[in-house]
Amino acid sequence: MHSRSVPDAPATDRPAANNKLVLTALGVVFGDISTSPLYALRECFSPDHGIAVNHANVLGLLSLILWSLILVISVKYVTIVLRADNRGEGGVLALSTLLSNASRDWRVWGPVSAVGLFGAALFFGDGFITPAISVLSAMEGLEVATPRLEHFVVPGALAILTLLFLVQKRGTGAMGRMFGPVTLIWLITLALLGVRWIVTAPGVLLALNPWHAVMFFVHNGAAGFFVLASVFLAITGGEALYADMGHFGRSPIRRGWFWVVLPALVLNYFGQGALLLGNPDAITNPFYNLAPGWLLPFLIILATAATVIASQAVISGVFSVTRQALNLGYLPRLRIEHSSEHEIGQVYVPMVNWVLFVGTFTLVLAYQSSSALAGAYGIAISSTMLIDGILVIMLLRVRREPHYRFYVGVLAFIVAIEFAFFSANLFKLDDGGWLPVAAAVVVYILMSTWQEGRRTLNWLIAREQMPVHDFLALLEKESPHTVEGTAVYLASEAGGMPRALLNNLRFNRVMHQRNILLTFVRPEVPYVPPEERIEVQTLSPALCRVIARYGFMETPNVVVTLRAAEEKGIAYEPEQTVYVVGRENPVFATGSGMPLWRKRLFAYMGRNSQLAAIHFGVPSHRLLEVSSQVRM
């Protein structure tokens, strides 16, 4: 089911992946799910659900959490979904493009693209909530230590989040080296705290039997169904295992999950259950009540560090999704900074960073506690997980690899469980659940408007383009004046002649001695091998076309591309070259195409997008921009 045969697949996905890579993956991939014990079981017994803290309910909820971790995370994501990679990359956008390329049915492309786009939009919604609820839940340990510190919870969370977003521009390279060891210490602490209480009440191990999960629904009826929204909190972050696959590969993620993360989570949840069996009043904060009083200061500091890591993982994930969406044509050009000279995946998107900061800051001020925010948490992630499962089932059916019916059957069963989680989360819409959905709808409208607007604009431009043979015939008929040097025209399509060149010839009657039509093509793969990147087409002695292919995880650069084209015989003299960039300004007409409000939104996004010259690294001192109007 995977496409690992390509030559540029990451070597880190081989079975011989070393333990150092597993340690690094712990801090990035598992940061979110490893902080769920801070609040998941507590929210299951929230007074809103009306679930009594008794022996049967504790065992039932522990069984639900355990088998959710096994089925959704271990079986679905770690065992099956991680095999569905797009040349080593995971995530809903990579998956939707992989499925679109695998299917020959054109009717599949549109719906799959829309579903993948909405899944990416939901991830943006998650980016607002995860930092807020994670850091708040850690800071609430101050209340357990002493009620006098209750007033410092919200200011402390705001201070930590502000610092977190301020340091984003410095990159995660230096911090990343600390993430793995800190997360490992956190997971070991989770396990030890759990074992401490399991030995006092070993009867809690009866929750290993899934029959207790079944009986939980029998005893609690409708309330048992509604509590699934809180059970789901235990597996939030599981989608990150797939989204972050491109950074580490399958093997380190699988090792980290089965060797460290899953055992630590299960031991801690069962430890909380053992505590509640003997002391139901500990439900106020069962996680921090696991620890003796003298350990609380250390535990609060460690939990805060773990939640910062979890937040950083989500923020970095949003940056990566933004980059993928931009390179796939779903977003206008935004300023993207590479925060590492060595790691291509480490990027910083200033506009997205500050939008996330404002949204997260506002959520903390509005909700004040992790319990209040729990109502807003889960809908976006449950929807994303459901989309992942459906798309992988479709991919399995399209590819029909050996044993695909077995995998489809297993996934269909798990997707049915995820649908139950999704349905339970829908009842939280009035309790703040509308927030991530609203954010996702806004992001989806922006991305789909930009995609449709660019498609329409490119079609209108292509319709007016002059074919190459007509242009060459025109040159033979009416020879223009020739000036020394080279002109590089950035062309969006590798077909006809760019409007900037035609307008220059029409109005100035001048052409350069050498003319290069440079087009960047985006194949729907993460990376393009260097030997396949550059294609040169000689159209005439004075005119050639250079087609440069970059994957959606790569950043194109004009100068680097032309240097690579030198190896194909293209003469490149930087100080004798002028770079001509066309800028199309849409003029709107009513009654055709997109609604007028979407056309205006598209134009607004275009005016505020990063200039093509800056985005593609054109030297500013050699730039000539040519503007023209296109009637939409």
Q: Is 330 helix (H, G, I), strand (E, B) or coil?
A: coil
What is the token pair recorded at 332? 């206008």
Highest mean pLDDT among 13-27, 256-270, 311-325, 429-443: 256-270
For β-strands 337-338 and 577-587, DSSP reports them as unpaired
For β-strands 543-549 and 577-587, DSSP reports them as unpaired
Q: ∠ CA 156-171-555 to the nearest 5 degrees? A: 140
Q: Compute the distance between CA of residue 361 and CA of residue 166 in angstroms, rounded to an integer.
A: 13
The CA-atom distances, in angstroms, between 556 and each of 93, 246, 387, 477, 576 are 20, 19, 30, 37, 22
**Average confidence (pLDDT) over 414-435:** 88
The pLDDT tens digits of the residues spanning 469-504 come to 888 888 878 778 888 889 888 887 767 788 888 887
pLDDT of residue 32: 83
In the chain, what is the straight-line distance between the N-terminal and C-terminal CA atoms, in Å? 42
Is residue 15 pLDDT above 60, yes or no?
A: no
Is the pLDDT higher at 154 or at 552? Answer: 154
Burial code (b: 16+ CB inside 10 Å, e: under 16) for 408-418 equals bebbeebbebb
- Name the β-bridge partners of 579: 488, 623
Is the pLDDT higher at 226 or at 590? Answer: 226
The pLDDT tens digits of the residues spanning 569-620 come to 888 888 888 988 877 777 777 666 788 888 888 888 888 877 777 778 888 8
Q: Is 625 helix (H, G, I), strand (E, B) or coil?
A: strand
Full 3-state SS string of 151-220: HHHHHHHHHHHHHHHHHHHHCCHHHHHHHHHHHHHHHHHHHHHHHHHHCCCHHHHHHHCCHHHHHHHHHH
Is residue 197 pLDDT above 50, yes or no?
A: yes
Confidence of residue 10 (pLDDT cuts 50, 70, 90): very low
The pLDDT tens digits of the residues spanning 507-546 come to 788 888 888 888 888 886 778 888 889 998 888 888 889 9
The pLDDT tens digits of the residues spanning 63-112 come to 999 999 999 999 999 999 888 877 777 778 878 888 877 776 666 666 77
Amino acid identity of residue 30, one-letter, is F
* Mean pLDDT computed over every residue of the chain: 83
Q: Compute the distance between CA of residue 249 and CA of residue 253 in angstroms, rounded to an integer.
A: 7
pLDDT of residue 12: 39
**Among 216-225, 281-290, 360-369, which is the least confidently predicted range?**
360-369
- Name the β-bridge partners of 41: none
Full 3-state SS string of 452-513: HHHHHHHHHHHHHCCCHHHHHHHHHHCCCEEEEEEEEEECCCCCCCCHHHHHHHHHHCEEEE
pLDDT of residue 526: 73
Check if the beta carbon of residue 457 is closer than 8 Å to that of residue 586.
yes
pTM score: 0.80
Q: Which helix (DSSP H) or strand (DSSP E) does residue 537 occupy?
A: strand 534-540
Q: Compute the distance between CA of residue 146 and CA of residue 358 in angstroms, rounded to an integer.
A: 30
Q: Which domains does the chain have, with CATH numbers?
A: 43-427 (1.20.1740.10), 465-631 (no CATH)
Q: Who contacts 4 (Cβ-Cβ below 8 Å, separation ≥6)?
A: 13, 85, 87, 88
The CA-atom distances, in angstroms, between 92 and each of 81, 96, 486, 631 are 11, 6, 42, 34
Q: Compute the distance between CA of residue 192 and CA of residue 206 in angstroms, rounded to an integer.
A: 20
Q: ∠ CA 363-367-371 to the nearest 5 degrees? A: 115
